[in-house]
Structures are given as C-alpha cells and as structure tokens.
Amino acid sequence: MLTMMKHPIMKKTLSLLIPVLLFVTTLFAGSNPEEEAALNSLILSSTKELSDYHKTKNKSAVLRHFHEKMVIDFTYISISGKVRTERIDFNEMAAHLEEIAHNKMGSTHDVEIMRTFVTGDIGVVSFTEDYEMKYGNEVLNKGSQLVTATAKKFGHEWKIIRMTVVEVENEKIKGTCLCELYSGEGTTGNYIAKTTAPGGKSYNSEMMHFSFRKEDRVKTIVKMEDTTYLWENSFAIWTTNHNGDKEKQVGQAASEAEVIKHLIGIEFKDHCTELVLRK
C-alpha cells in the first residue's frame, strides 16, 4: 500500500501546505494579548479623537496616534458609484485638520475591530467603521469604512505608520446639488431647470418650469410651476398672495438666472448644502 509521502500528488500538496502552516504557526506563536490590547486601544482612541475633533479642536490629540512618516491611502466610493483615490501624509493630515477646525462639520463613529495581531514590534489591526457626517445637528451622509492599520512600537509607545481605507458612501441625505438651466420659448415657459439632488440611496432629478413676464418698469412676474413670485427692480424677490400682491421678501437677485438659482435653493433646502448652476 502506498504511503502519503510516496504518492506524487499528496507529496506536492503537502509541499505547498508546509509554508502556509509555518506562517500560521509563526503568526499565532507571536500573539501577544497585552500588546494586542494596546493596539486596539490605539485604534479606538484615534477614531474617538477624530470623531470629537469638531468639538475639541485639539489637533495634537488626533496626531499623537500617528508617526510623522505615516501614510494613509484612501479609496472613496460615492453613492453615485464614482471612485476616487487619494494618498496623504502626516503634514497633509495636519493641514486638513487645521482647515476643518473652523467649520461646523462633524461625524459620529461606530467602530468594530475584526482582527488584531502582533509580531515583534509590528502590529496590524483590521476594523470597520460606520459613520455619519453632520453639519451642526443635521446629518449629510452615512457610510462605512473598511480599514487596515499598521502600527510600529517605538520604545514603549505604538504609533500608526500606515493605513489603508476603503470608504463606501451608503446614503447621501444632503450635499452639493446641480441645476442645469435651459432657455427657450414655448408654452412650458422661458426656462426649464433640471435639478439633481441627493435622495438617500441615490441622486434624484426634477424638472421645473420658469417664466418671466415684465409687468412694468419695476415689477416682473415670475412663475415657478404654479407658484407666483414678484421680482422688483431686478433686485428683491417677493412671495405673493392670491391677489398678486407682494407679501414677504425671500431673497435678492440681479438676473433671471440668479432668480431661478435662488428659488431652486429654497425649494431644495432640505437636500442641498450648495447649489451649482450650469447654463
């Protein structure tokens, strides 16, 4: 009867398995629960400091977790399916923190550590992070990140030296909107505005008709679908009552395109942080 070692196929299979078994054995033999706990603490601390940054503005509290020669590779996949990649270093991260210190942007994080291992003075942590991006108290978008962080122990202290981040945007509640403006003459009005805005799991587009009719040297009647506004002296925009009299000033504009942009901004205020007009 043939033994396993004499069977050519089994011999080849075993020769392939030996390096894998040796790697796994080495990996678990190098397991150090105390250092793994320290690494996990590093990750949880760094993500919390970053999450709290919009409140604390404490840049050093964030950066102290990273080595000065660290590199972060980002892959960002938006709700529309666009993929963007970026690499930043320590100085660029510090500059970014300085840049966002004065706005109202903030985020919340829910971190789950999946795997941690240590070999010598190098450690690797894989974790997921669900987040919400906010402006003030308003949620703009939601998403998830899959992160692999590599850290090195310098003396008695762990520092992150490299991170690979894949971020997937799951929901876009509010963000930059695009208004495409088409002019023409016809029964539908002087202009057609196509507005594309975040709609949660996708972007939604809506067509709206606008017409401008000059009543006299001062007043221009503006119709947005079935709603009537008064544009006065090519400046003030007013709502009107059922008699056509002005009621409340809702904005200012110097041109018809600006009037449309302003009224679209009001109509989509729950979806747009910024409105880009394209003619």
Q: What is the pLDDT along the chain (279 residues), one digit of tens a residue?
A: 333 334 444 444 445 444 444 444 444 445 689 999 999 999 999 999 998 888 889 999 999 999 999 999 999 999 888 999 999 999 999 999 988 877 766 676 789 999 999 999 999 999 999 988 887 778 888 999 999 999 999 999 999 999 999 999 999 889 899 999 998 765 445 899 999 999 888 889 999 999 999 989 899 999 999 999 999 998 999 999 988 899 999 999 999 999 999 999 999 999 998 999 998
Count of H helices and E strands in the chain? 6, 14
Token pair belonging to 251? 């904005």
The predicted pLDDT at position 13 comes to 44
The predicted pLDDT at position 105 comes to 64
The predicted pLDDT at position 221 comes to 93
Token pair belonging to 110? 């829910």
Collapsed DSSP state (helix, strand, coil) of residue 60 = helix
Collapsed DSSP state (helix, strand, coil) of residue 259 = helix
Collapsed DSSP state (helix, strand, coil) of residue 225 = coil
The phi-psi region of residue 57 (left if phi > 0; otherwise alpha if psi is between -120 and 50; otherwise beta) is left
Q: C-alpha dihedral over 76, 82, 85, 90, to 10 degrees?
A: -40
The predicted pLDDT at position 250 comes to 96
Distance between alpha carbon 241 and the CA centroid of its chain, in Å?
41
β-bridge mates for residue 195, sequence order? 179, 206
Collapsed DSSP state (helix, strand, coil) of residue 32 = coil
The predicted pLDDT at position 107 comes to 74
Between CA 244 and CA 233 the distance in angstroms is 16
The predicted pLDDT at position 136 comes to 74
The predicted pLDDT at position 42 comes to 97
The predicted pLDDT at position 95 comes to 93
The predicted pLDDT at position 3 comes to 37
Domains defined along the chain, listed by start? 32-171 (3.10.450.50), 175-278 (no CATH)
Between CA 96 and CA 50 the distance in angstroms is 12
The predicted pLDDT at position 138 comes to 81
Tell me which residue has tokens 């876009």.
172
Q: Within 13 Å of residue 138, how many CA atoms lie on the same side as its CB?
A: 12
The predicted pLDDT at position 232 comes to 94
Collapsed DSSP state (helix, strand, coil) of residue 113 = strand
